[in-house]
Structure 1
């Protein structure tokens, strides 16, 4: 049996679930955001030191040791029961629930796709995966990560005034109640005069790399799916195609050179990942430049735009350890 950890409205799971059914696989789609508000766990430690974790949800009980694979897709954060009204109490309850879930993950001996939550948080860190990619021979931009505003002007000058600023992690935030995200942004002279803002939090600074096209490379097990993103056709997507994803850019299938494909597989293997979304730039000179890997990156829009069978590859990986019924 397969466990899918993700929000109930996850369209990526909607793409894979029918293919699991077609392969005869039984699965539970559960969102940990239901815990502890709606779901229950009962965990018992045996004399031999092994845990038995029983998950009670949707009127059924599941022995989680029976799950052969866990797809840790995009679960919601734990949610306290509605009876917990005080905000500080809710925060306390939900923090304890999260700590329990991390322990449950660590003591659940199943195949994890792409990995346990703590591992994914660590591996998506750009300091870690940029270094790993460089060691494997990827071309990587010179990178400065700092919250020291006095470092900005010298690095900007070294880059010939063509510098890109990025977040250490792509996360949303609020300013006076309004939602914001920070996309990759060229550093202008105006930013230099206002550089004290860099003291507030660390940012990634890299020389701008000229793009012919951008590539989203999705690795599933030993399969590599490379998609072209023609982001340079519009000023809106020139620096960061995510800003207007699927609005201005065109997409296509790309054939990677053998050595680049091998490096992509070597990178996921080195990080201990059976899955990863790798972002590359193809320069006008034909060089492939590494940007980052996202261990739980989105892929549904790539499949929809190109027809690459990523959902089939994920389904095949998940059912690989399922018992085969004898005829």
Structure 2
């Protein structure tokens, strides 16, 4: 099989705009794609993998009933937030949970064993790279500026931190995700400003992540993929969007911004330290022009950045997955 005919695996939820954009970019270049969601396994997707002594890798077949791909012919893998496997409702507990864990481990680890092909991003590396407290250490090591931060369930420690900062504070989730309140939509826990005068024993109920509030001239969603960098500039025009732009999209103006060389170098080293090639980085640029790192989502959203700015992010994904990136 020629290299051009080898398929790219796109593993993502069915309703994922970024995955759609990458598939479209690959289709325009004539690259075969097999897209599926892990939620379709094992009920709709069949996976068979074989390994023999002395073989350099796994061989086998993925079949979703419409398309097939041989593991040994996979050209690259785009792994983008797929759902977990769904087990047939006829399987009772505790066997259903056991079966789900088995299916999850099988497809995750079998595909992750395809180490000789490009990944965006290998899920084992991706999970480690998503840990926010460790990100601050990695960012500091590569020379990025970060906010003063504390994670605590101790009210006295929180008050001491507030006294040290002697300025506005914000509180943010340590772990991403949304609250399932039982309604049709899940509630996003947003970054919000806090008043140290309100610190009380409720802090003891769980870990809280406090940071100094960084003054912002504007914010940047920096998309790094395959060694290329795309700066989406966000100029917020309300207090809510200025604290967490996800809470007030109506008061954001979009543009592009060049990524300074020292920031690009540091981001490249940051990604390399985790063994990943993609990241959606959030920065604030202060009135003095200093770039301050907040966090990186190794599977973050970027379709809206391309749609708002025209930056060729999907094309950069396609270039990397085809092995043609700069």
Residue 227 in 1 paired to residue 238 in 2? no
- Aligned equivalents of 1:320, 1:66: Cα separation in 2: 15
| Separation (CA, whole Å) in 2 of partners of 1:179 and 1:82 | 24
TM-score, normalization: structure 1?
0.90
Alpha-carbon distance in 2 for matches of 1:187, 1:175: 23
Is 2:209 the partner of 1:204?
yes
Unaligned runs of 5+ in 1: 323-327
Alignment of 1:1-327 (within 5 A): 1-48=7-54, 50-84=57-91, 86=92, 88-175=94-181, 179-189=186-196, 191-193=198-200, 196-231=201-236, 233-244=237-248, 246-320=249-323
Shift of 1:161: 4.6
For the residue of structure 2 that corresponds to 1:237, the secondary structure is: helix
User: CA separation in 1, counterparts of 2:243 and 2:165?
Assistant: 16
Shift of 1:203: 2.5
Structure 1 CA distance for aligned equivalents of residues 206 and 103 of structure 2: 29
Residue 125 of structure 2 contacts residue 274 of structure 2 at CA under 8 Å; is this kept in 1?
no
1:277, 1:61 → 2: CA distance?
31
State whether residues 166 and 203 of structure 1, in contact with CA within 8 Å, keep that contact through their aligned partners in structure 2.
yes
Contact 1:67 1:110 in 2 (8 A): no
CA RMSD in angstroms comes to 2.1
1:123 deviation in Å? 0.6
CA distance in 1, matches of 2:68, 2:289: 55
Listed one character per residue, the Cα deviations across residues 79-122 of structure 1 (whole Å, up to 9, x for unaligned) are 112433x4544323212211222321332234343222221111
Taking the aligned partners of 1:149 and 1:97, their CA distance within structure 2 comes to 43
- Separation (CA, whole Å) in 2 of partners of 1:321 and 1:83: 46
Alignment coverage as a number of residue pairs: 317
Instruction: Decide whether the 8 Å contact of 1:114 with 1:274 is kept in 2.
Output: yes
In 2 relative to 1, CA 87–247 (structure 1 residues): closer, same or farther, beyond 3 Å?
farther
Instruction: Output the CA distance in 2 between the equivalents of 1:168 and 1:28.
Output: 34
Conserved 8 A contact 2:169-2:212: yes
What CA distance in whole angstroms lies between the structure 1 residues aligned with 2:208 and 2:65?
Answer: 44
Separation (CA, whole Å) in 2 of partners of 1:174 and 1:296: 21
Contact 1:8 1:31 in 2 (8 A): yes
- Contiguous gaps of at least 5 residues in structure 2: 1-6
**Are the aligned partners of 1:141 and 1:207 in contact in 2 as well (CA < 8 Å)?**
yes
